Amino acid sequence: MKKLVLLLVALAPAAVALDAEISFKSTEIEPGIFLVEAVGGFGGGNMAVLAGEDHVAMIDDSMPPLAESLLTHVTATAGRPIDFMINTHVHGDHTGGNAHFAASGTVVFAHDNIRKRLLDDPSGAGGPGGLPVVTFGDGVTFHLGNIEARVIHLPDAHTDGDAIIHFPNANIIHAGDILFHAIFPFIDLDSGGTVDGYIEAQKRIWAMADDDTKIIPGHGSLTDKAGLKSDIDMLVESRELVKALIDKGMGVDDIVAANPLAKFDSFNWSFITSERVTRTLYRSLTTEK
């Protein structure tokens, strides 16, 4: 958790500097289902608005400084207030608007472990008012008129409280941060994430999808089953490359110096570089069974 806070602090100066330039864009990718993205700078993870006939739900809510402009934007997108918020995981670039939305009447749903972690430190949810009101273990299903949204917990992946949202009728999957598309993933070992759980979770999403499925990643652009496959292949190969050096008896600094992930340098972004991923792979592979 502390590391995550440091990471978010590292991002903060850029975010603050760009605050005035960050806005939100909604795209209706299937009837009533909108992909919501920040534009103009880093404005948190990809979100979605689910505008049903009688109720409106939303997936994730960016960061605290952007909560007010986000609420204004998505209320206009939906044409009505947001009834339910679903958090895909505990990070402050996905839960940051919770308190602000809750103050306007939105009920926040999240995995049990998200609430546990936010009880320790609610700042990533905008304060104690952002704590989830309804929590779940394996999952929960929303029935919003024609939109059915199945929230499914996948264990020990990006964190220990991840959920994906599957829309079986609309053929969409929101993967939360179990997918960073065409960029290196952040796997939060300090919040219960594991490399092998992450790969397993990605394979489960792949198995749920068909060639027409639209897949919303937590970060990166909207993709599909083939795009997800290329991300899985990259991570599986990266794991093997680092594992081969561990099996030779090399220590983490020597492995970093050997730069085994050099071929994937195009996946570098922000603070998630090949060195960082190498260190994450090393740590996860040498502490997991």
Residues that bind Zn ion in the complex, under the rule CB under 5 A: 91, 177
- Least separation, in Å, of the C-beta of 89 and Zn ion? 5
Nearer to Zn ion, 22 or 178 (CB): 178
Nearer to Zn ion, 55 or 91 (CB): 91
Strand blocks (E) in 163-285? 163-167, 172-174, 214-216
Rg (CA), the chain: 18
Contact (CB, 8 A) for 203 and 126: no
Strand blocks (E) in 44-146? 47-51, 56-59, 84-86, 107-111, 134-136, 139-144
- Least separation, in Å, of the C-beta of 97 and Zn ion? 15
- Least separation, in Å, of the C-beta of 3 and Zn ion? 12
Q: Phi and psi (nearest 5°) for 95?
A: -115, 0
- Least separation, in Å, of the C-beta of 185 and Zn ion? 9
Whole-number Å distance between alpha carbons of 177 and 123: 20
Nearer to Zn ion, 91 or 100 (CB): 91
Bridge partners (DSSP) listed for residue 141: 150
For residue 39, what is the enclosing H or E element? strand 33-39
Nearer to Zn ion, 91 or 153 (CB): 91
Question: 3-class SS at 153?
Answer: strand
- Least separation, in Å, of the C-beta of 178 and Zn ion? 9
Nearer to Zn ion, 91 or 117 (CB): 91
